[in-house]
Amino acid sequence: EIVLTQSPGTLSLSPGERATLSCRASHSVSNNYLGWYQQKPGQAPRLFIFGASNRVTGVPDRFSGSGSGTDFTLTISRLEPEDSAVYYCQQYGSAPYTFGQGTKLEIK
């Protein structure tokens, strides 16, 4: 099983700042099948990034994903208040398709 460790646990930033969220895998993620999700309270998760660096249609270009192998990053440039949420990474390259524990992003 691939364990995903996200850091930091909580991130508190101001509008306009840049957020960098990390996801580290215990083993290499097959084919870089790594996704990033945004989840707001009371809502289902929403896929933002797939294949480590591909933005889902409709996701603002302020969101970008990078990385390969075991180290992945979600970067949100120019934070806006609506970006406040919990962000999860997930590997879907090999079962069980594990998720990280999440990073809570707070916008001051």
Residues near another protein (CB under 8 A) are: 35, 37, 39, 44-47, 50, 56, 88, 90, 92, 95-102
What are the beta bridge partners of residue 20?
75
Order the strands of the 19-25 sheet from edge to edge: 4-7, 19-25, 71-76, 63-68
Q: Considering the complex, what minimum distance in angstroms separates the CB of residue 97 from another protein?
A: 4
Nearest-angstrom CA–CA distance, 98 and 58: 25
Closer residue to another protein, CB minimum distance, 13 or 56: 56
Cβ proximity to another protein, 2 vs 107, nearer residue: 2
Least separation in angstroms between residue 50's CB and another protein is 7
DSSP state of 102: -
Which residue number, 58 or 81, has a Cβ lying nearer to another protein? 58
- Report, in Å, the least distance between residue 14 CB and another protein: 26
Burial class (CB in 10 A: 0-12, 13-18, 19+), 86: middle
- Of 68 and 101, nearer to another protein (C-beta) is 101
